[in-house]
Amino acid sequence: MLNLKSCPRCNGDVNVERDWYGGYESCLQCGWVKDASDEPLPGPLQLTLDKLNLEFPELVRVG
Ligand SMILES: [Zn+2]
């Protein structure tokens, strides 16, 4: 999926890739890359839930 204007370096569009061993984010504009597989959880729980909903809806969906 694509996170528009979410690059911390250039505010460009970040492509979010996931596969069986984890995931990573990469900016289409500047090439910034973040390995998301070992990213520490952000502080606020609500922020975490919102992020999960956006990025991993299949994990949050219950029932
Ligand atoms: Zn960028």
58 CA from centroid of ligand 1 (Å) = 27
54 CA from centroid of ligand 1 (Å) = 20
Residue 48 Cα distances to 28, 31, 39, 60, angstroms:
24, 25, 12, 11
What are the structure tokens assigned to 13, written together?
């569009």
62 CA from centroid of ligand 1 (Å) = 34
Q: Determine if the pTM surpasses 0.85.
A: no
Q: Can you give the residue ranges of every domain in the chain? A: 2-60
* CATH T-level fold of 2-60: N-terminal domain of TfIIb (2.20.25)
Kindly report, residue by residue over 18-63, the tens digit of the pLDDT. 777 678 899 999 999 988 655 555 556 666 777 777 888 777 666 5
Banded pLDDT at 1 (limits 50, 70, 90):
confident
20 CA from centroid of ligand 1 (Å) = 25
Residues making up the chain, counted from first to last: 63
Which uninterrupted H or E stretch holds 18?
Answer: strand 14-19
